[in-house]
Every structure is written in C-alpha cells, then in structure tokens.
Amino acid sequence: EVQLVESGGGLVQPGRSLRLSCAASGFTFDDYAMHWVRQAPGKGLEWVSGISWNSGSIGYADSVKGRFTISRDNAKNSLYLQMNSLRAEDTALYYCAKDGDTAMVGGAFDIWGQGTMVTVSS
Amino acid sequence: QSVLTQPPSASGTPGQRVTISCSGSSSNIGSNYVYWYQQLPGTAPKLLIYRNNQRPSGVPDRFSGSKSGTSASLAISGLRSEDEADYYCAAWDDSLSAYVFGTGTKVTVL
C-alpha cells in the first residue's frame, strides 16, 4: 500500500525550531519529487516547499524562504522539513505529498499523508 | 495569498451539474497544467484531475476538467451527496517559481 506518514509536529514557541519528517512506503521513493503543503485552521491549501528526486532542484514559497529547509534521504525513504524562526502564522496542518514526476516543477500531487499539526504559540 | 481565484461556494441538488471556475494568469494556468484536488471534511486532499483534464484511476467520470487560456473549470455531473467537499485548483507559477493553489470552493449538495 502506498503510504506517507508525517511526524514531528507539536506546540512550539515563536522563534523556535521544529523538524518534520515524512516516511514513505509502497513506492520507489527516489523516483519521485516530494512536497510539503500546509493548511492553516479553517483556511485553504498553501504549497510550502518541493524537492526533486535527487535533491538537485528545490523550491520554497516566499512566506518560508530563508527560514525553512527541505531535504530528503532516499536511502531511508524519508522527507524532512526543518523549520526555523517559527511564527504564529506558520500554525497549520503540514502535509507531505508525492509528486507524479521526478522533477519538482509542474507535476501532480498524487499521494498525500494525513498531516502533522504545528502550533506556534507562547 | 492565493494567486488562483475560485468562487467560495457552489451548490446543487442531487443529479444536477455543478461547475467550479479557477481564474489565473499567463504565468500559471496560461502556461502550465492545471490540477484539481478534492478535500472531504476532516481528511487530506485527494487528486481529482491532473494535466487539465485527466482523471486518475478510481475517480468517477462524473468529474471532468477543462482549461481555456488563463482559466480552468471543474464540472461535477450527476451530483451526489458524497461530493460535498472543498475543491481546489492548482498550477505551477513560472513567475513565482512556486506552486499556487486556488482559494477553494465549498460544494454543498442541497
């Protein structure tokens, strides 16, 4: 069964850091690009970051550029999101999503995890 | 902020046809594929339409997508109660070098 399982969310104070993980199974992880998408409570979807199959191409939303870092470990079938200098507006459910292509650009998000909640509050 | 504009809501009775629009620009819809996602209450989004008008296996043919210029639309024919959900369009934006999602449309089955 194709599956993505996120972990690492929680309550964190503004300015602190958090690292999210996404464990993939049921498909050849290193054949596909991967993404993080977030959804603030009661709000719509926002793309956060994406990474190509070999980490050669990486992109970020302007709202997180310079604060968040995406990475992947193909040997461990895992995707990560290092989040630094967190702000209240980063509070959201963070989804890991598989791309239908190897490149980070222009593909469909064909598999989604169930998400991990990040709450930034003092 | 969302770059792609959708109507906040749409509704219909069972069996009716509902259409959702998605308006963008030349840097996103005008030059790249459009995707549609369905988000049932309390669940993760699910890919509904890819590459403007293609359905993944398992998606009923009641759902169809189209694109013209800088706009796209999703049609749901033979509306069913289980279609009550939020629907989002999405596309890569060449100017932003980022994926952009639509504002989302809540479909209600009356």
Radius of gyration (Cα) for chain A, nearest Å? 13
Residues 53-112 (A) with a CB less than 8 A from some CB of B: 59-62, 95, 100, 105-106, 108-110, 112
Of B44, B47, B97, the CB nearest to A114: B44
Q: What is the pLDDT along chain A (122 residues), one digit of tens a residue?
A: 999 999 999 999 999 999 999 999 999 999 999 999 999 999 999 999 999 999 999 999 999 999 999 999 999 999 999 999 999 999 999 999 999 988 888 789 999 999 999 999 99
For B44, the closest chain A residue by CA position comes to A114
Under the banding of pLDDT at 50, 70 and 90, the label for residue B3 is confident
Do B100 and B4 touch, CB atoms closer than 8 A? yes
Answer whether residue B1 shows pLDDT above 80: no
Q: What are the start-end ranges of the E strands in A1-122? A: 3-7, 10-12, 18-25, 34-39, 45-51, 58-60, 68-73, 78-83, 92-99, 109-112, 116-120
DSSP characters over A40-60: -TTS-EEEEEEE-TTSS-EEE
Optimal mutation site among A4, A35, A109, A111, interface B, most CBs of chain B within 10 A: A109
Best CA proximity match to A85, nearest among A70, A63, A68: A68
Say whether pLDDT at B86 is over 60. Answer: yes
CB contact set of B2 (below 8 Å; sequence gap of 6+): A44, B100, B101, B102, B103
> Cα A26 vs. chain centroid, distance in angstroms?
19
Measured between alpha carbons, how far is residue B50 from residues A94, A114, B27 in Å? 22, 21, 18
Q: Do A50 and B99 lie within an 8 Å CB cutoff?
A: yes
Mean pLDDT of chain B: 97
Beta strands B105-109 and B9-12: pairing type? Answer: parallel
In percent, the amount of chain B with pLDDT more than 70 equals 99
